[in-house]
Amino acid sequence: MPKTAALLARGHLVFAAIPAVFLLATGFHAVRAGFVADLGSFTPARLSPRLTSELIQVVSKGQRLRRTVGVWGLGDKYGDSDSGGYLVLNRLIQPGTRIQIDASWMPEALRRSLPKGVTPVEGPYAAAKGADLLVILGTREEYRRPDLFHLAEVMKKRVLLDGRSGLDPGLPGLELFPDLWVSTIRSWPSILDPELRGFVDEVARRVPPDGSILLVPRPSPLPLLLGRWFLPLNYLLFPRKLYLVDAAHAGGTNPEFRKWTLDAADPKFDPRQAAREVGAGWLLECSLWIDFRPQDFALKDLRGGPGAESGPDSR
Amino acid sequence: MTFLGGCLVAACCWLLGRALLPSRDSLARGLWEEQCLAWLLGAAALPLAAMAPTWAGLRFDAPLAWTLLGLSALAGGIRLRRDRRSGQATSPLPLGRGARVFLVFLGVGSVAAALAFPLVQFDALYHFAYKGKILFYTGNPLDPAFTQPLAHYGRIITHPNYPLGIPFLEAFAAHAGGAWDDRWVQIPAAFWAACMPALVALGLRSVSPRAAACGALLMAAVPMLYVRNFFLTGGLGDLDVGAMNPLLLPGTGDLPLACFLTAACALLLRARRSGSLLAGGLAGLCLAGGVLTKNEGLGLFGVFFLALLLGAPFCGRRAWKATALAGLVGILLAAPWLEHRRALPVIDEDYAHLFTLQRMESFLTRPEEALVTTLDAMQTAKKAETRTMRLPLIGENLGVEFVNVFNWGLLWILFWAGLANVRILLDPEFRWLALLVLGGLLLYALIMLVTPWSLGRLFTTGIPERLFLHLAGPAAILIGMRFGPAAPESAD
């Protein structure tokens, strides 16, 4: 046994190559990026087939039998023949499930390589026809800007899983689940978002360090898993005090945040009254979304005096 | 200036630790182990020293921070002078040139990697650094920023009852530097991975210098000290620090807790053999440091002594004196934090209330679907998983992690191999360490059993590997005790 153990111990040392490579590469990357996080070098978003298929199961409410799934595209930025797309297809294949994919753009070789059980059809709306669920895995222009009314007409159950997060959430008659997908592929930490940083600079310029801000979330069209932009805002703007309705759930687990996005916005809510309650001199109205968009945030000065609430008081 | 402030706090940690160390004659050690242990003791003692007066009502403002730093430097300076006069020598480890280069490369590389980028990761920012900011700007561990998340219009904070060890270190650095800086506040807490192998070596010295050298190399080669699932999640392709989930080095609590537990094991092992009460007391300091680092530290504190009681109950008066002192010091030093913690709100993880027989029985006998309290139907928990019993899921994930060589090399395989010998189990110290590791694993399995999180979700956030990391040091010491004596004369 000691000899075997000595052998194992020596074998264990081989794995020191992992940290060695990691540390060398980190050093190289840091020097190249100038010791700051370089957004341009972040790994492009990639498919996560396992999570995607899990989400598909959630979205389709576990219905496995006699289900029709439409698929647009096969991959991501790495090309439409990305292997991740194949893995998603393979996971979608279930007894009784019909999978129809838009093959109009596919070269013959690619069509032949489709997994058995996947039916190639001509055109995106043909793929969506009669579908209970449409899974968008491609980035082609026609997938990003489809005729949504037509889509709603041809689909059976009108549930979309948008792998590209490119669709407008306010769709008539369509149930869109963009964040489910995006939650698996965000490419950089929220605190590095350049638009967020710019917005923080502006708020910091206007609100003094001892100021208090009440964040007022507008109703969200969909439950979100990502989009807790109040966390980096709160961190970066400290010592300014940020208040939020039901902050404990907003800052809790992801499912709690998800529920919060649906419950937090109260139509009878009087923001000025609430601001008075907490002693906040500023209101920050916000629509939370997966991406930080400065136009979703509006800062209002409640203290009165010149300039308060003047003009487009937001970025 | 903020850079210098960070360096100053790191130096003060080291000086304070030097002041606390037993003499080289009573606790033999090499120069490398001495520096690492000194810094670690200081990194435990300085936040504990700040916690006590702030709990008692003082503000953690610049004067208090500078006073504590000044006292640390003074004590360390006096000790350095005394050591120079005493002429007591250190005893180097029998490490060959190649092994030394290897250790220096990994140690220096880990420090450089930790400081190469500012804090950007979720846990490091919102669970730890944000609390450091509150301490720096307000000086009050009961500031409404900590205590008001539950109000109808509340302050935003994640895990308000997380321990304040790392935040205090960062706030010290900010005070010393005069401003908060997301990169340089990390300096006082950048040495964990570099120190871990030295702590293992320190514990194994009482077995043999060869065992100590082998244990150090074994620990240094564990990938999880530096990076998680590196080649599994994209390897070089994912080297965008910040986006890279596996980066463990900066600003979080798992690696520090692992270091504190390893140091506590090493020091108590030495104390029980030598009868050094000071070493026993320092083991207690390290355990208290662990309690002030992560909530899991409190659980491991209990497992540590329970394992001693069960594994090594008959070991002579000297050993028990050192053990009792470790317990006493640990409890006394951790008490201010534990008392303070009672005043903090609990948002989503209250394991003290979750550990009920009824809840455990429920999760053992019923599928998860009906029992996860924080979920609703819309969440992303896998449907398949929610219909699964938790116990097999936990067993599967723990089992897979033992053989995940990308994180652990062969560490856990060697650990299990080390246990496969009846004779060695007669050794009380070996039994203690074995029970500590196994007890820790059992504790974590129970936590997973009753957690309010969806297990499927939890397993995507670095669980269970981050929990395994806490126990890697004792496991390495155990492996060194079991196989170290048979290792070649020069570990190179």
* Of the partner residues B153, B241, B408, the one whose CB lies closest to the CB of residue A29: B241
Q: Nearest C-alpha of chain B: how many angstroms from A154?
A: 26
Q: Which residue of B has its CA nearest to A24?
A: B109
Q: Which residues sit opposite A68 in a β-bridge?
A: A98
Tell if the CB–CB gap between B411 and A244 is shorter than 8 Å: no
Residue B135 with chain A: CB contacts under 8 Å: none
Which of the residue ranges A112-126, A178-192, B7-21, B281-295 would you say has the lowest mean pLDDT? A178-192
Tell if the CB–CB gap between B380 and A6 is shorter than 8 Å: no
pLDDT for the residue numbered A292: 80
Q: Nearest C-alpha of chain B: how many angstroms from A163?
A: 15
Is B483 near chain A, with CB under 8 Å? yes
Directed axis angle between helix B428-450 and helix B390-402, to 10°? 130
Query: Tokens 């419950």, residue?
Result: A263
ipTM of this complex prediction, to 2 decimal places: 0.89
Cβ-in-10-Å burial (0-12, 13-18, 19+) of B152 comes to exposed
- Scored b (16 or more CB within 10 A) or e, B461-489 reads ebbbbbbbbbbbbbbbbbbbbbbbeebee
Which candidate, B199, B151, B373, B45, places its Cα nearest to that of A279? B151
The answer, yes or no, to whether residue A139 has pLDDT greater than 80, is: no
The answer, yes or no, to whether residue A14 has pLDDT greater than 70, is: yes
DSSP state, residue B330:
H
Average pLDDT value for chain A: 76
Residue B348 with chain A: CB contacts under 8 Å: 252-253, 256
pLDDT per residue rounded down to tens, chain B (492 residues): 889 999 999 999 999 999 999 999 899 999 999 999 999 999 999 999 999 999 999 999 999 999 999 999 999 999 999 999 988 888 888 888 999 999 999 999 999 999 988 888 888 999 999 999 999 999 999 999 999 888 888 999 999 999 999 999 999 999 999 999 999 999 999 999 999 999 999 999 989 998 999 999 999 999 999 988 887 665 555 454 444 444 567 778 999 999 999 999 999 999 999 889 999 999 999 999 999 999 999 999 999 999 999 998 878 888 999 999 999 999 999 999 999 999 998 876 667 777 777 777 777 776 654 434 333 333 333 333 444 678 888 888 899 999 999 999 999 999 999 998 877 788 899 999 999 999 999 999 988 888 877 677 677 677 888 999 999 999 999 999 988 765 544 444
* Of the partner residues B110, B120, B149, the one whose CB lies closest to the CB of residue A247: B149
How far is it, in rounded angstroms, from Cα B480 to Cα A9?
A: 10
Q: Write out the two tokens for B40.
A: 């670690």
Is B367 near chain A, with CB under 8 Å? no
Q: Report chain B's C-alpha Rg in angstroms.
A: 22
pLDDT for the residue numbered B353: 72
pLDDT for the residue numbered A307: 43
Q: What is the mean pLDDT of residues A172-201?
A: 67
The separation between CA B229 and the C-alpha centre of its own chain, rounded to angstroms, equals 19
Tell if the CB–CB gap between A12 and B411 is shorter than 8 Å: yes
| Percent of chain A whose predicted confidence (pLDDT) is above 90 | 24
Tell if the CB–CB gap between B231 and A1 is shorter than 8 Å: no
Q: What is the mean pLDDT of residues A59-85?
A: 61
Q: What is the DSSP string of A52-93?
A: HHHHHHHHTTT--TTEEEEEE-S-BTTBTT-HHHHHHHHHH-
C-alpha dist (Å) from residue B15 to B35, B38, B43, B288: 9, 7, 10, 19
Neighbours of A174 (CB within 10 A): 19
pLDDT for the residue numbered A54: 57
pLDDT for the residue numbered B396: 87
Residue A194 with chain B: CB contacts under 8 Å: none
Tell if the CB–CB gap between A238 and B116 is shorter than 8 Å: no
Start-to-end CA span in chain A (Å) = 69
pLDDT for the residue numbered B242: 41
Q: What is the mean pLDDT of residues A31-58?
A: 63
* Of the partner residues B235, B374, B380, the one whose CB lies closest to the CB of residue A55: B380
Tell if the CB–CB gap between B380 and A58 is shorter than 8 Å: yes
Q: Which residue has the higher pLDDT, A152 or A124?
A: A124
Residue A187 with chain B: CB contacts under 8 Å: 243
How far is it, in rounded angstroms, from Cα B52 to Cα B62?
A: 16
The answer, yes or no, to whether residue A50 has pLDDT greater than 70, is: no
pLDDT for the residue numbered A172: 55
How far is it, in rounded angstroms, from Cα B483 to Cα A1?
A: 9
CB distance B260 to B304 below 8 Å? no
Tell if the CB–CB gap between A24 and B109 is shorter than 8 Å: yes
DSSP state, residue B128:
I
C-alpha dist (Å) from residue A29 to A61, A188, B113, B114: 44, 16, 10, 13
Q: Nearest C-alpha of chain A: how many angstroms from B106?
A: 7
Tell if the CB–CB gap between B153 and A243 is shorter than 8 Å: yes
pLDDT for the residue numbered A225: 62
The residue type at B390: R
Helix, strand, coil share (%) of chain A residues, nearest 5: 40, 15, 45
Q: What is the DSSP string of B163-209?
A: -SHHHHHHHHHHHHHTS--TTGGGGGG--HHHHHHHHHHHHHTTT-H
